[in-house]
Amino acid sequence: MPDDTVPAEQAAAATTPVAPPIFRNHHFLALWAAQATSQVAQNGINLALLVLVQERTHSPAAVSLTVLSFIVPSVLFGILAGVFVDRMDKKVILVATNALRACAVLGYIFFDQTLGLILMVNFLFATISQFFSPAEVASIPRLVRREDLLTANSLFNLTFNATQLIGFIVLTPLMIKLFGVSAFFVLAAILYVLAAILVSLLPRERARLTIVSSAESQRIILSIWAEIKEGWAILTHDRTSSLAMAQWTLVTTMVPLLAVVGPAFAEGVMKARPEDMVFLFAPAGIGMIVSTTLLNRLAHRFAKQTLITAGLVILGISLLLVASAKTGGSYLLYNLLGRVIDTSGLVMELIPIIMVLAFFLGIAAALINIPSTTIIQERCPASF
């Protein structure tokens, strides 16, 4: 009698869904989980620190200095960090930076008496982060096969966007409202410790610290300077590229500007707590997602510059309406409605109005950012 057991087992195995190879790569999963936990902490700290400074100082200028203390380390140490990471064991850097950031986050609790101390701690924290990002990116091709690189980068990009939603919009405002800013900083430190444990599971790298000769250092500096001059020449001689760069700069600088005015706007205009500026950022993020989703279809029907122009118009109108908003509603909206209906006694809540306008700000940002970036990529060399 023939044995049907083996064919039956083979048929069952054939019908059992098999996970993609990358999800069976334990080293990649450890790095991916570390990215998720550290990014949740990072995005949450961005909001919590602005809330802390606003509560301590009630000064937009102080919030501006806080944003600058985030940005300046990337300008000063970004290139240096990349060169250093290339010559070091990536695992050592990932473990060290996560552990050091856990300690630095606790500094926000113990050194929050004055703005100067907060800025010093934040500068240190942001400087450490400059070494983490290039080590994380460089670890991906070391841990996954070449044919899995696209999937790995897509997963990291997806996690990057998801952690912005979780850390900036959901977790941090909830933690601050329920337990206070200090409690969130403790949670962020725990997340960084967890990330350090996860990356400690990665394999060691054979590379060792390489001493860079003075000649090589000079060559690197000259190469960087040549690329800067090449980029400047392109921008000054190509009107389309320079216009796209100006438009891209406009929308990318708008985000830190909103971060600066957000806490004061929530407290002074919306009559809410500084952490309630999430009502401004959450709908904007949703608007960017919606606009990005529709952009592929729109790009087949309209020119890139047409889409950018539409985004600028929407941006200008939305900012005008936000600027006209006051407690109890928008004077401009009241005046427009007053031409149609009797608005006496009509009370319009401000937060829903701000959320709708923020949604359109997000749509405008994507309409400007993505086409302008594409124009720059198309007209500039890859080294730019």
Question: Is residue 134 domain-shared with residue 180, that is, in the same domain?
Answer: yes
Q: Which residue has the tokens 């670890």?
A: 139
Question: Is residue 180 domain-shared with residue 291, that is, in the same domain?
Answer: no
Question: Is residue 189 domain-shared with residue 312, that is, in the same domain?
Answer: no
pTM for the structure as a whole: 0.67
Question: Is residue 254 domain-shared with residue 382, that is, in the same domain?
Answer: yes
The answer to the question of residue 334 being in a domain is yes
Question: Is residue 30 domain-shared with residue 122, that is, in the same domain?
Answer: yes
pLDDT for residue 208: 53
pLDDT for residue 6: 52
How far is it, in rounded angstroms, from Cα 35 to Cα 30?
9
Question: Is residue 262 domain-shared with residue 163, that is, in the same domain?
Answer: no
Question: Is residue 242 domain-shared with residue 381, that is, in the same domain?
Answer: yes
Question: Is residue 201 domain-shared with residue 242, that is, in the same domain?
Answer: no
The answer to the question of residue 214 being in a domain is no
The answer to the question of residue 91 being in a domain is yes
**Helix intervals (H) in the chain:** 5-15, 26-57, 60-86, 90-110, 115-143, 149-164, 172-179, 181-199, 214-237, 239-268, 278-299, 304-323, 331-338, 350-379
Task: Give the domain extent around 106.
Answer: 22-205
Quick one: tokens of 81?
Answer: 């960090």
The answer to the question of residue 50 being in a domain is yes
Helix (H, G, I), strand (E, B) or coil at 180: coil
The answer to the question of residue 225 being in a domain is no
Task: State which of 185, 205, 225 marks the end of a domain.
Answer: 205
The answer to the question of residue 213 being in a domain is no
How far is it, in rounded angstroms, from Cα 99 to Cα 84?
18
pLDDT for residue 171: 85
Q: Counting beta carbons within 10 angstroms of the beta carbon of residue 12, is it exposed (0 to 12), middle (13 to 18) or buried (19 or more)?
A: exposed
Helix (H, G, I), strand (E, B) or coil at 18: coil
The answer to the question of residue 211 being in a domain is no
Question: Is residue 44 domain-shared with residue 144, that is, in the same domain?
Answer: yes
Quick one: tokens of 227?
Answer: 């690329």
Of 39, 56, 333, 351, whose CA–CA distance to 165 is shortest? 39
Task: State which of 188, 205, 222 marks the end of a domain.
Answer: 205
The answer to the question of residue 201 being in a domain is yes
The pLDDT averaged over each successive group of 10 residues in the chain (384 residues) is 53 55 88 93 88 83 84 80 78 94 93 87 93 86 81 76 76 85 94 96 70 63 68 74 82 68 66 65 79 80 89 89 62 51 50 81 86 76 50
Question: Is residue 157 domain-shared with residue 271, that is, in the same domain?
Answer: no
Question: Is residue 59 domain-shared with residue 191, that is, in the same domain?
Answer: yes
Question: Is residue 189 domain-shared with residue 264, that is, in the same domain?
Answer: no
Q: What is the CATH number of the domain that holds 46?
A: 1.20.1250.20
**Domain count across the chain:** 2
